[in-house]
Copies of this chain bind each other. A is one copy, B any other.
């Protein structure tokens, strides 16, 4: 039975994720797992978040980039001077806790307060794998359509915040913000909801403030 093997993998991942979380807590590191579709704007959001109107000077960030192939996103973090480790999953549609445990060996954890893990672009596989983070933040771009919460409920259900991205493109789409907000409140009543246009910096200060609050409240 293949189901047994899958459960074993998930169980092993849970244990490794708990170990990651303990390690991060002991080192005073706050982990954030950033998930969303391909092209939902994860890397662009990070670029905006690490700018002066975002977290610059407030968070000592480092990034783990998860991609099937390539290092385009890691290069973008490098260009900002943010310490970054690229994981190439070579086909796997999500990161897992063992990949994170291996990746952090390449970071100077003593210099890090905020560890953002940019997951593989995927609304499905990423939902099942705890990485040892304290927060999971899910992105949804208005260009993807407002039906995604109904179609991919698990990833939204388990997230602590929804960031609606590319809000500046709203006039060119049939995306209904109200519908997305209502669906998110149904799926994850306690989650925070933000609207951003990262390329313009809109909504970035509010998101950055919330992240700092959550880091300090831990």
| Contact surface of A with B, Cβ cutoff 8 Å | 2, 5, 9, 37-39, 67-70, 72, 91-93, 120-125, 128, 141, 143-145, 147-148, 150-154, 166, 168-169, 172
Contact = CB atoms under 8 A, between A and B. Distances in A.
Nearest to A4: B5
Work out how many copies of this chain go into the complex.
Answer: 2
Which of A9, A124, A128 lies at the interface centre, i.e. has the most chain B CB atoms within 10 A of its CB?
A: A124
B143 A39 contact: yes
9 contacts: A37-B37, A38-B144, A39-B144, A69-B151, A91-B154, A93-B122, A121-B123, A143-B169, A168-B172
- Identify the 4 closest CB pairs spanning chains A and B, nearest first: A39-B144, A143-B143, A93-B124, A37-B38
A169 B153 CA distance: 27
A157 to B, nearest CB: 11
Contacts of A145: 39
Contact of A69 (B39, B68, B93, B153): B153
A180 to B, nearest CB: 12
B151 A38 contact: yes
